[in-house]
Amino acid sequence: MAEAPRFQAPTGTFDVLPPASARWQELLARFAGVVGGAGYGLVINPLFEDVGVFLRGIGEGSDVVTKEMYEFVDKGDRRLALRPEGTASVVRAFVQHRPPVPFKAWYATPAFRYERPQAGRYRQHHQLGIEALGSEDPDLDVEVVALGHDFYRSLGLQQVTVKLNSMGDRDCLPAYRTALAGYLEARAGDLCAEHREKWRANPLRVLDCKKPECRAATADAPKTVDLLCEPCRKHFERVRTGLDDIGIAPVLDFRLVRGFDYYTRTTFEFVAEALSSAQNAIGGGGRYDGLVESLGGPATPGIGFGMGIERLLLACDAEGVMAAPAAQVDVFVVDVTGGAQALSLTTELRRAGVRTDRAFDGRSMKAQLRAADRSGAAVAVIIGEDEVTAGTAVVKAMSGGARQQAVARAEVVSTVRGLLTGSAGIEEFDGEGTA
Ligand code: HAM
């Protein structure tokens, strides 16, 4: 058995290599298509920020900030942190650059959290997300939830539930917190070990604690939606009817207070019913109407979501959808004359826009044909000494009876293109050739 390599990907991280990475590429392209088509533009932020962006933005009441953040001091003595999520950085950039509103952005980013690694929970995971800043219109909440929902649908996922809640705002959330604290005080002894100690500091965290003790103790806890102020109640009502109008039926979940301090009003989560509960939150988000101000900007409402790519792919596997996309190349050039022909033919084909690969190192015909097969190419172009002498190449269909035809060297590109676009069927070939 080969010795384990000395260096491996750090615990809780992993490599994505081809061909598996083709699925990631496909996912990104489809996401860009869905959200780009709704007016969201790509935003690219640094992977690290001044630690204050996350302390102030996400809040010191969240586990992500207090327990899981990768913090470091750089050579210039700056306190920095790797981004544990995307929202705070997008908002920091908004405050810095003040683009016109509504500012609608999407991103694909790694996120770093020092968690206990397990299936669907990593120390570096990857998120696709959107953020929309500058409008408190509840129809924007509907748009954001709908884009997530419709993206999952476009992948073929059928078993995704939308969970919905409203957290209230700075007017009604404090009163709710007090009511919840009052409720918990009488049951503090029944909570899990961690929350028995800490429930007072942030009672909301007890609500989304997954431990059975906390879940039992909070079964009859007051619900945010019962204590909303009038503007929040109206907002929530409009979100619900808006979703209903476009055929999305969310499940109300009073525990959905989410793990970050920045949320106000609408919160939501996308749950993959095909996965086990430890990893079935495949996306989540909500409104954060105070976040821009917390990071030093003018009062500006915002809403968005993030979805974990790894969990999304697990959900796709569980439902048997979003198979790996077909081959990356259409043509494989096989040259058994030393490689010069392959060099010129692949260049010609690629310059003509045909996805083309070839073998290197003067490998045998058999090995090159095997490589052609593995590449998934629909067509092989084969050149041996006879073809060089005759000024031809053999164009061979890789499937459908492996028919082939010798064509003039100058006509290889047009023949291949005709085959690939279906305008010249390989069945027209008469089977001549040298391969
Ligand atoms: P979040 O719920 O912490 O929200 O993360 C979003 C999604 O990322 C989760 O639903 C899950 O699919 C995935 N995820 C989170 N942590 C891990 C992990 N350790 N391993 C694998 N996947 C993970 C946010 O990050 C917010 N920024 C979402 C948001 C955007 N809210 C408003 N705008």
Q: Which residue's CA is the nearest one to ligand 1's atom 15? A: 308
In residues, how long is the chain?
435
**Three-state SS sequence of 247-301:** CCCCEECCCCCCCCCCCEEEEEEEEECCCCCCCCEEEEEEECCCHHHHCCCCCCC
285 alpha carbon to ligand 1 midpoint, in Å? 8
Instruction: Identify the weakest region by mean pLDDT among 147-161, 272-286, 410-424.
Output: 410-424
Percent of the chain past pLDDT 70, that is, above it, reads: 96
Cβ–ligand 1 distance for 122 under 6 Å, the answer yes
The highest-confidence range among 117-121, 421-425, 430-434, by mean pLDDT, is 117-121
pLDDT digits (tens, 9 = 90+) for 35-57: 999 999 999 999 999 999 999 99
pLDDT digits (tens, 9 = 90+) for 209-253: 889 999 999 999 999 999 999 999 999 999 999 999 999 999 999
* Integer angstrom CA distances of residue 227 from 80, 234, 251: 39, 12, 19
Cβ–ligand 1 distance for 305 under 6 Å, the answer yes
One-letter amino acid at 157 equals L
Helix, coil or strand: residue 111: strand
What six digits make up the tokens of 248?
Answer: 């999305």
Mean residue pLDDT of the chain comes to 94
- φ/ψ of 234, rounded to 5, equals -65, -40
Cβ–ligand 1 distance for 86 under 6 Å, the answer yes
Helix, coil or strand: residue 402: coil
Q: How far is CA 110 from the centre of its chain?
A: 9
Q: Which residue's CA is the nearest one to ligand 1's atom 1? A: 284
Q: How far apart are CA 14 and CA 234, in angstroms?
A: 45
What is the predicted pLDDT for the residue at 61? 79
Cβ–ligand 1 distance for 115 under 6 Å, the answer yes
Among residues 305, 321, 318, the alpha carbon closest in space to that of 120 is found at 318
Q: Which residue's CA is the nearest one to ligand 1's atom 10? A: 283
What is the predicted pLDDT for the residue at 425? 54
End-to-end CA distance of the chain: 39
Among residues 114, 105, 98, the alpha carbon closest in space to that of 65 is found at 114
Q: Ligand 1 pocket test: pick from 112, 113, 311 the residue with the most ligand atoms within 8 Å of its Cβ.
A: 311
Cβ–ligand 1 distance for 310 under 6 Å, the answer yes
pLDDT digits (tens, 9 = 90+) for 264-308: 999 999 999 999 988 999 999 999 999 999 999 999 999 999 999
12 alpha carbon to ligand 1 midpoint, in Å? 16
Segment holding 79, helix H or strand E: strand 79-82
- φ/ψ of 127, rounded to 5, equals -120, 140
417 alpha carbon to ligand 1 midpoint, in Å? 44
Cβ–ligand 1 distance for 127 under 6 Å, the answer yes
Burial class (CB in 10 A: 0-12, 13-18, 19+), 181: middle
The residues near 268 (Cβ < 8 Å, ≥ 6 apart) are 145, 148, 162, 163, 164, 165, 250, 256, 284, 285, 286, 305
| Under 8 Å between Cβ of 407 and 382 | no
311 alpha carbon to ligand 1 midpoint, in Å? 10
Q: Can you give the pTM of this predicted structure?
A: 0.94
Q: Which atom of ligand 1 is nearest to the CA of 304?
A: 33
Q: Any idea which residue has 């609608």 for tokens?
A: 104
